[in-house]
């Protein structure tokens, strides 16, 4: 089996936290536990404020094995408001990365 991963196109992530809540709802995580967490990075450079939102899978992310084994997308990918998350093999995803300005690839187990 090839390694699977999540590609996040954070050029377009809106920081809406839907992936976070969708993951929680899918896995019934108790308070204080999340499969994925949205981070906000602010950089202030010569009068310009740049903000990036980057969702970051945690220890609790199992890549939605129970969903993907049935051919469904991981919950966070399905719910993403901006269609900026992708699920696939690391090989596939890294190809997508080549043409995108701002992406990160996660490969949790």
Partner 1 sequence: MSEQVFTNCTVGGPISVYVKDGRIVRVRPIVIDEEDFKPWTIEAKGKKFSPPRQVKLASYVNTERTRVYSDERAKYPMKRVDFDPRSGNRNTENRGKSAYVRISWDEALDIVAAEMKRIVQDYGPEAITGIVSSHHNWGTVNYKMGPFSRFMNRLGFTFIFDNPDSWEGFHWGAVHAYGFYWRLGCAEPYDLLEDTLKNAEMVVYWSSDPYASWGTYCGGESQIWRLWTREAGIKQVFIDPFCNHTAATIGDRWIAPKVGTDSALALAIAYVWLNDNTYDKEYLETHTIGFEHFRDYVLGKEDNKPKTPKWAEKICGVPARHITALAREWASKRTVLSCGVRAGFGGAIRLAYGHEWARLAVFLQAMQGLGKPGVSMWGSGMGAPFNANFFFPGYADTDGKLSTTAAADKKIHNPVQQRLYRLLFPEAILNPPIEWRGEGFCGNSIEQQFKSYKYPLPGKSEVKMFYRYGGSFIGTMTETNRWVMAYQSPKLEFVVNQDCWWGSETRFADIILPACTNLERDDIAEFGNPGGYSAHGSSGCNHRIIVRQKKCIEPLFESKSDYDIFTLLAERLGFKDDFTDGGKTTLDWVKRYFEISDLPKHISWEAFNSKGYYVVPVPDNYKSTPSLRWFYEGRTCDTPDYLNPKRNTEKGKELGTYSGKIEFVSQSLTQHLPDDKERPPMPRYIPSWEGPNSPLARKYPLQLLSPHPRYSFHTHYDTHSPWLGEIPGHRIEKDGYSYWVARIHPRDAEPRGIKQGDIVKLYNDRGAVLCIAQVTERCKPGVVHSYCSSIKYDPMEPGKAYSIDKGGCVNLLTSARMLSKNAPGMAPNSCLIEINKWEA
Instruction: Assess 66 for contact with partner 1 (CB under 8 A).
Output: no
Stretch that binds ligand SF4, among 30-38, 41-49, 88-96, 97-105 (CB under 6 A): 30-38
Distance of alpha carbon 38 from alpha carbon 18, whole angstroms: 9
Instruction: Assess 5 for contact with ligand SF4 (CB under 6 A).
Output: no
Stretch that binds ligand SF4, among 9-17, 40-48, 93-101 (CB under 6 A): 9-17
Q: Rule CB under 6 A: choose which of 4, 7, 76, 86 binds ligand SF4.
A: 76
Instruction: Give least dist CB 47 to ligand SF4, A.
Output: 27
Q: Rule CB under 8 A: choose which of 4, 6, 8, 34 binds partner 1.
A: 34
Taking CB within 5 to 8 Å according to partner kind, which of ligand SF4, partner 1, none is near residue 4? none
Long-range residue pairs from 77-82, CB within 8 A, at least 24 positions apart, any chain: 77/6, 77/19, 78/22, 79/18, 79/19, 79/22, 80/18, 80/19, 81/14, 81/16, 81/18, 82/12, 82/13, 82/14, 82/16
Of 19, 21, 103, 27, nearest in space to 62 by CA: 27
């Amino acid at each position: 089996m090839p390694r699977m991963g999540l590609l996040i196109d954070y050029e377009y992530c809106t920081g809406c936290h839907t992936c976070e809540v969708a993951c929680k709802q899918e896995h019934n995580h108790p308070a204080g536990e999340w499969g994925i967490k949205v981070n906000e990075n602010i950089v202030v450079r010569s009068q310009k404020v740049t903000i990036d939102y980057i969702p970051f899978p945690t220890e609790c992310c199992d890549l939605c094995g129970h969903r993907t084994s049935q051919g469904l997308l991981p919950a966070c990918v399905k719910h993403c408001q901006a269609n900026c998350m992708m699920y696939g093999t690391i090989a596939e995803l890294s190809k997508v990365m080549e043409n995108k300005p701002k992406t990160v690839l996660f490969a949790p187990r």
